[in-house]
Amino acid sequence: MSDKKIYLEESEIPTHWYNVVADMPNPPYPVLAPDGSPITPDALGAIFPEALIMQEVSRERWVEIPDEVREIYKLWRPSPLIRATRLEAALGTPAKIYYKYEGVSPAGSHKPNTAVPQAYYNREAGIRRLTTETGAGQWGSSLALVGQMFGIEVKVYMVKVSYDQKPFRRSMMQTWGATVIASPSDQTEAGRKILAEDANSPGSLGIAISEAVEEAASRSDTNYALGSVLNHVLLHQTVIGLEAKQQFAKVGDYPDMIFAPCGGGSNFGGVAFPFLADKANGKEVRLVAVEPASCPTLTRGHFAYDFGDAIGMTPLMMMYTLGHEFVPPGIHAGGLRYHGDSPLVSQLYNEGLIEAITVPQLATFDAGIQFARSEGIIPAPESNHAIRAVIDEALRCKESGEPKTLFFNLSGHGHFDMGSYDAYLAGKLEDFDYPAEAIAAALHHLPKV
Ligand SMILES: *Cc1c(COP(=O)(O)O)cnc(C)c1O
């Protein structure tokens, strides 16, 4: 009988992160200042430490992971690669299904993989406070977790609708010592502006980012940390794919297709980019980003320069976007409700090196429940998107008789998302297709550069 779980030794935690820029056919588009002019290093230096700015623009293939960061990674890494034998049997597919389980981190998702190095480089730069935003609470809890390890005070602007829907994520952040504010709040100009327009605003990631950036930019002891989208975040997340490659090598297998849920692109980039390096060397492997039909950034958005936040305070990034004023429908995968996407993922998609598909909300919960009833783990609603796509592919293999090797990133567990499962089980969830008119309208609000 072959092993269910493929483990690595702690000594096999990668010593370097992989920078996909080194293997991209074209260099990344430059980041621009909010007015469209070339960005100055000072503008970024107001909210990020120099080491992270250097990683943001690095073209080096390998970036060394500091020992202190690897030491903290040992709290939950290496994460297991698991063969989904029971799901395979339930589906009756000839496909082999593997998943990398990132829910083993204390915060329950992949996000601490970047929270640790971000807090580390900020502490090295003498920073004592970090502000950030959080949607579903996964990122805020990850930064809260590591802040106290590095003696950094953490303040989290949490999207109001999640603040109300997910009280235990808030308790988690407070348990780890962070301060949590519902966004939009009256503590920043950005928040006050939004509240003046709509006192009942449910908030959005874009608005919360505006608030967190405004506070960080106005205080010299405070920096800002972002949990996804930026190049350095995807760089840190490559520990996932690098471990997975070693694990596949151990069992003499290799994926034909890799799936990951895609919000800002960090867990997708983290799991897929190390395999893209093989693709650059001629290996056949398909990399598929899975998005919600209600927030179809890659599949239906515009590839254009846009702001990362709602107000227009951040630099402009060339990315797929639904428009920075996008206020997403209240779907239950909070981590996938962002108007933009990672510039690296966007460019690779634009150049045809990776694929993207959308799946509707109800079908994702259906897949998550099938997974929970076969493999046991209750997945995060975000992860259910990848599971839906994998099950669909495994069923196609059943029809064609192809024994493909399918691999997905189980980006987190759903223990704090049971309210969403409740709503699904009670028949209260709906599918929502983002309207074409709204996508067309966004085009008129993109910054002119
Ligand atoms: C945040 C989150 C995501 C989406 O964010 P990415 O940056 O696209 O990875 C997916 N899954 C889980 C569990 C998350 O917490």
Q: Where are the alpha helices (DSSP H) in 306-380?
A: 343-350, 361-375
User: For 29, left (φ over 0), alpha (ψ -120 to 50), or beta?
Assistant: beta
Find out whether the beta carbon of 333 lies less than 6 Å from any atom of ligand 1. no
Report the DSSP pairing between strands 286-292 and 355-359: parallel
Could you give the angle at which helices 231-250 and 50-57 cross, rounded to 10 degrees?
Answer: 70
Looking at the CA of residue 261, tell me the nearest atom of ligand 1: 10
- H or E segment at 205? helix 205-217
Distance CA 209, CA 219 (A): 16
Report the DSSP pairing between strands 81-83 and 5-6: antiparallel
Phi first, then psi: what are they for 448, rounded to 5°?
Answer: -85, 115
Find out whether the beta carbon of 210 lies less than 6 Å from any atom of ligand 1. no
Nearest alpha-carbon partner for 382 in 225, 227, 251: 227
Report the chain's terminal Cα–Cα distance, integer Å.
60
Find out whether the beta carbon of 383 lies less than 6 Å from any atom of ligand 1. yes
Distance CA 149, CA 130 (A): 13
Check pLDDT > 90 for residue 443: no
- Residue with the smallest CA separation from ligand 1 atom 13 is 412
> pTM higher than 0.95 for the full model?
yes
Q: Which of 73-87, 228-242, 313-327 has the lowest mean pLDDT?
A: 313-327
Phi first, then psi: what are they for 64, rounded to 5°?
Answer: -65, 140
Distance 25 CA to ligand 1 centre (A): 27
- Residue with the smallest CA separation from ligand 1 atom 3 is 335
Q: What is the pLDDT of residue 295?
A: 92
Looking at the CA of residue 108, tell me the nearest atom of ligand 1: 13
| Contacts of residue 200, Cβ cutoff 8 Å, sequence gap at least 6 | none
- Residue with the smallest CA separation from ligand 1 atom 1 is 335
Distance CA 68, CA 184 (A): 36
Find out whether the beta carbon of 14 lies less than 6 Å from any atom of ligand 1. no
CB 63 within 8 A of CB 69: no
pLDDT digits (tens, 9 = 90+) for 31-70: 999 999 988 878 899 999 999 999 999 999 999 999 999 9
Find out whether the beta carbon of 269 lies less than 6 Å from any atom of ligand 1. no
| Contacts of residue 42, Cβ cutoff 8 Å, sequence gap at least 6 | none
Angle subtended at Cα 94 by Cα 91 and Cα 95, rounded to the nearest 5 degrees = 85
Find out whether the beta carbon of 382 lies less than 6 Å from any atom of ligand 1. yes
CB 151 within 8 A of CB 126: no
The CA–CA distances, whole Å, from 309 to 114, 280, 339, 437 equal 20, 33, 9, 22
CB 34 within 8 A of CB 309: no
CB 446 within 8 A of CB 33: no
DSSP for 47-106, please give it. TS-HHHHHHHH---SEEEPPHHHHHHHTTTPSPPEEE-HHHHHHHT-SSEEEEEEGGGST
CB 318 within 8 A of CB 305: yes
Query: Other C-beta atoms within 10 Å of 162: how many?
Result: 27
Find out whether the beta carbon of 387 lies less than 6 Å from any atom of ligand 1. no
Cis preceding-peptide flag for 78 (omega within 30 of 0):
yes
Q: Which residue has the tokens 């060339």?
A: 318
Q: pLDDT: is 121 or 333 the higher one? A: 121
CB 152 within 8 A of CB 130: yes
Find out whether the beta carbon of 264 lies less than 6 Å from any atom of ligand 1. yes
Find out whether the beta carbon of 266 lies less than 6 Å from any atom of ligand 1. yes
pLDDT digits (tens, 9 = 90+) for 265-310: 999 999 999 999 999 899 999 999 999 999 999 999 999 999 998 8
- H or E segment at 153? strand 153-159
* 3-state class (DSSP) for residue 316: strand
- The pLDDT of 375-404, averaged and rounded, is 98
Check pLDDT > 80 for residue 329: no
Phi first, then psi: what are they for 362, rounded to 5°?
Answer: -60, -40
Distance 85 CA to ligand 1 centre (A): 25
Q: Which of 99, 159, 267, 378 to mutate to test the pocket of ligand 1 (most atoms within 8 A of CB)?
A: 267
Looking at the CA of residue 380, tell me the nearest atom of ligand 1: 13
Q: What is the pLDDT of residue 335?
A: 75
Distance 402 CA to ligand 1 centre (A): 30
Looking at the CA of residue 383, tell me the nearest atom of ligand 1: 11
Distance 228 CA to ligand 1 centre (A): 8
Domains detected in the chain: 5-9+68-108+231-443 (3.40.50.1100)
Looking at the CA of residue 111, tell me the nearest atom of ligand 1: 15
Distance 308 CA to ligand 1 centre (A): 17
Distance CA 204, CA 182 (A): 11
- The pLDDT of 180-194, averaged and rounded, is 97
Q: Which of 69-73, 232-236, 392-396, 415-419 has the lowest mean pLDDT?
A: 415-419
Q: Calculate the dihedral angle through the C-alpha atoms of 236, 245, 262, 208, rounding to the nearest 10 degrees.
A: -20
- The pLDDT of 69-74, averaged and rounded, is 98
Q: What is the pLDDT of residue 1?
A: 64
Q: Which of 266, 288, 364 to mutate to test the pocket of ligand 1 (most atoms within 8 A of CB)?
A: 266
Distance 401 CA to ligand 1 centre (A): 32
Check pLDDT > 80 for residue 366: yes
Nearest alpha-carbon partner for 146 in 171, 190, 178, 182: 178
pLDDT digits (tens, 9 = 90+) for 75-127: 999 999 999 999 999 999 999 999 999 999 999 999 999 999 999 999 999 99
Beta bridge pairs of residue 303: 320
Find out whether the beta carbon of 142 lies less than 6 Å from any atom of ligand 1. no
Q: pLDDT: is 377 or 202 the higher one? A: 377
Q: What is the pLDDT of residue 271?
A: 98
pLDDT digits (tens, 9 = 90+) for 131-160: 999 988 999 999 999 999 999 999 999 999
Query: Other C-beta atoms within 10 Å of 447: how many?
Result: 15
Q: What is the pLDDT of residue 330?
A: 65
- The pLDDT of 237-262, averaged and rounded, is 98
Find out whether the beta carbon of 390 lies less than 6 Å from any atom of ligand 1. no
- The pLDDT of 354-362, averaged and rounded, is 97
Distance CA 147, CA 283 (A): 40
Q: What is the pLDDT of residue 41?
A: 73
